[in-house]
Amino acid sequence: MTTRRSALAGLGAATGLALSPAPVCAHKRAVKPPRLREGDVVGLVEPAGYTSGPEALARVRHTVEGMGLVPRFGAHVGERFGYLAGTDEQRASDINAMFADGEVRAIFAIRGGWGSARILSLLDWGLIRRHPKLLVGFSDVTGLHLAFAAKAGYPTISAPNMASSWLKTSWESFWWLAFAGSAPVLGGARADLPIPFGTITPGKARGRMLGGNLTVLAALVGTPWLPDFDGAILFLEDIGEAEYRIDRMLSQLSLSGILGRLSGVVFGQCTRCATEEPDYAGFTVPDVVRQWVEPLGVPAFLGANIGHIRNQLSIPLGVEVEIDAGAGTIAVLEAVVS
């Protein structure tokens, strides 16, 4: 990864971003995580899958240092327990330790995979509420983001995991949110992504941004780890799921009542989800999404630059946003950090 230190000096020409002032928003919270500053210590944890080899962890260190931050690895980073990065107790203890560490300003997930949901009941939620810190990551880390929205009550950021690539759009959208504490306008209609932009239902909608990986979200339905979706803007993405499984999971969100409570929907990318059999005659992923979302009658679009793709947007969770389904934009209406 090339150095990002020069970017910290100013990012006004960010592609796909338009800085706007944060208006007064009715949805207030008592506390928010502190913004990041160059030289801050950040905690690195593995809540799910393991990272193989010292070379991979060395690249993670280089990425964090390139952001102008100081990495502090969890005590059990590098452990392996089957396909997990250590036992549930070890992975949870690393997160708890980062929230107890007064020098650590934010917590970054190194990678996703599977396993974040296994540790939710082992986290010290009183400690997490008392010491707000940014949680950063995506994919399986969706389980933590949703639980934080439900139990901690302060914003987090869905952004590349630290073992992933951090290219221009990912970094700059993250910088505006986490360092500048600003309210950028994210996204915009694009035809160059695997699922190109398309409006499902035109219009604008406001609400608290929630969501992430569809598979992880669907697996938490019926548990106490989901936040209140009343009036929310739901964003979704996934990877490696056949069209019928996307259909099944959206059906679950509908039958559970989640879809019917939303103010708007943003569907991002579904990487490696298209059936490649030459005689396949079923629905495409966009077909399935439209079938479940269009009847809701709320502003919605698909093909956002969100998901398991290079140079994805960093997206705030737990703050008020306004989507424009005709333009494919997400306007952040309040700062993520204090």
For the chain, how are helix, strand and coil distributed in percent, rounded to 5? 30, 25, 45
- Return the active site residues: 139, 237, 308
Give dist(CA 313, CA 169) in Å, integer. 6
Dihedral angle computed from the Cα positions of residues 23, 235, 170 and 141, in that order, rounded to the nearest 10 degrees: 110
Q: What is the largest CA-CA distance in the chain?
A: 58
**Collapsed DSSP state (helix, strand, coil) of residue 33:** coil
CB within 8 A of 230, min separation 6: which ones? 261
Give dist(CA 161, CA 139) in Å, integer. 8
Main-chain dihedrals φ then ψ at residue 321, nearest 5 degrees: -135, 165
DSSP E strands in 23-121: the ranges are 41-45, 70-73, 104-109
169: part of which helix (H) or strand (E)?
helix 168-174
The two three-digit tokens of residue 302, written as one number: 């698909």
What are the helix (H) ranges across 183-331? 214-219, 243-255, 285-293
Give dist(CA 160, CA 314) in Å, integer. 7
DSSP E strands in the chain: the ranges are 17-20, 41-45, 70-73, 104-109, 134-137, 156-158, 183-187, 198-201, 204-213, 233-239, 264-271, 300-302, 315-317, 320-324, 329-332
Rg (CA), the chain: 19
